[in-house]
Amino acid sequence: MKHIILRTFMGIAGTAMLFAACNNDDGDAGALRATPLQLATQMDAPQTRASANNTWDGGEQVMVSIDNAAATSFTVAADKTTLTPATPIYWTLATQSLTARAWYPAAWTMQADQSTAAKLQEADFLFAPTTGTLSGSGSGEIAPLKSGSADTYTALLIPRDMTAANFIRVAIGSEDYYYKPASGEANLAAGSSYTYNILVKKTGLDVTVVNNGAQWAAGSNDTVTAVPLVLKLILASTGAGAFVSGNSTTATITAAAERNGNSVAIGANPVTWTVINSSITAAWWGDSGGRSRTSGAMNGLAWGTTPISLHGYEDTRTNMSGVVGSGGGGGTGSAYASPDTGATATLTDIVGSRQVELRAEVTINGETYAGATTINFGNGPLSEFKRAPNGSKNWANAGSNCGDAGNPNNTGYQPSTKLPRQEQLQAVAGSGNGGRQGAAHAAGWRDDTNDSGWFLYWIGEANGTGNARVVNLGDGGTGWISVSNDIPVAVCVP
């Protein structure tokens, strides 16, 4: 909300005050013995100068014209109540009547730039006509004085009627908004103060007239109630739900700016996008025997629409920078892409069951808009598992740990073991031989006992000849090994 306070010029006094020190004791009817003319200063009911403290300072030079003769300079005395001419002026008759006009300063032009207190003082003009008023015409712009934190502007104007004219202009970026007063809203009169509350909307100016011609009185202050400026950046996200083919999901976040409830175009202004926090609380997240993960780790999340691809260990990542697979153990991949700088950003996740807090900020015409939102990514391939892996074991012990020991002499998948199926493990393995994006590596799952980067994991399938199938989480490849082998890792399904 902008506040405009407009004041009109006012007089030294409504009429010039003339006092004669008369002495007619000698009986001369019209004679006046060497009596000087004195003028007194007073505030006009009780009007004042715009930018001083309602008093004269003393020493000011006031111009006075008597009976329309050439103006004479008078000085405001130290007592601040009388004016003394540079050359004495004398009465000639006790019954003499004089007409005077006074003004200050001696030389004055309308100041277009009133943007500082000193410049506002220079724009001040006082006058004391016996008849007539000061008024003006023509066009031009005045740069007002800004004060306070509520965008309050003050200017001095010549009295005139501004009805239906382009009275106040507000520039927002490349857009100009004009206030054209209705009848009676801006008929500027001398010695008056006018206050306008202005709310800038996309469709134009919303103007409230607070003081319409109130007397500008000595010592008076204009009280303006500030309306807080509300800048918002509203973020809306779509697409963060179901995983595409079980591999990943991409959220699209769009920012929209509002100023006091009105839409503001972001245009080419760069938007700064930041992931504030990521949270995963699922039991399959992290593995004390692998790469332990905090609930706030951002592994598996990347800017853009291309999902991360992992084939091995990756250290815990607490921000959105760095290189995929950093931390050793055979992890590889591309960089985590930089965030978009436009009004739309995208985030892609390969893990799922993740809540992300996102913030965006943009500066438009010198004003900063900011907003935040929460994105909930749907269940990913890891949601098929009951918990994180629980160590390397032979096939029977792996089954007993999750369900039952199974029967290696039977063929096919045995659900009672609660060991995963082949497709469940390949869905969280790295790409290459049937694997996907490597969600298990983003979750920090351990390698097998050999710690060679093969990541062999048991599935609940036997071939009837003492062998069971394993999946290599490095690339999704499969093979058969003896059920007595205790190298592969056991992980359970519900």
Handedness of CA 44, 47, 51, 54 (dihedral sign): positive
Q: Rounded distance, CA 122 to CA 48, Å?
A: 15
- Give me 199's structure tokens: 């709310």
- Give me 379's structure tokens: 């269940």
Q: Rounded distance, CA 114 to CA 143, Å?
A: 5
The rounded Cα 297 to chain-centroid distance in angstroms is 29
Residues 6+ apart with CB under 8 A from 160: 135, 136, 137, 188
Pick the closest to residue 324 from 220, 227, 437 (CA basis). 437
Q: Are 170 and 21 in contact (CB under 8 A)?
A: no
The 3-state DSSP class for residue 462 equals: strand
Residue-by-residue pLDDT tens, the chain, 494 positions: 344 444 444 333 333 333 333 333 333 434 444 556 666 665 443 333 333 345 677 888 888 887 778 888 888 888 877 778 877 776 665 555 667 778 888 777 777 787 777 777 777 777 776 544 445 555 678 888 887 655 788 887 778 888 888 888 888 777 888 888 888 888 888 777 888 888 877 677 888 887 766 655 444 455 545 456 688 999 999 988 778 777 899 999 999 999 888 899 999 999 999 999 999 999 999 887 777 788 999 999 988 888 888 888 878 888 886 655 444 334 444 446 678 899 999 999 999 999 999 999 999 988 999 999 999 999 999 999 999 998 999 999 999 999 999 999 999 999 999 999 999 999 999 998 999 999 999 999 999 998 888 899 999 999 999 999 999 999 999 999 999 999 999 999 99
Q: Rounded distance, CA 74 to CA 107, Å?
A: 14
Q: What are phi and psi of 54, to 5 degrees?
A: 70, 15
Q: Beta strands 467-472 and 271-279: pairing type?
A: unpaired
Q: Rounded distance, CA 362 to CA 369, Å?
A: 5
The rounded Cα 211 to chain-centroid distance in angstroms is 31
* Segment holding 374, helix H or strand E: strand 367-376
Q: What are phi and psi of 121, to 5 degrees?
A: -60, -40
Q: Rounded distance, CA 40 to CA 42, Å?
A: 7
CB burial class (10 A; 0-12, 13-18, 19+) of residue 276? exposed
The residue assigned the tokens 């005395």 is 77
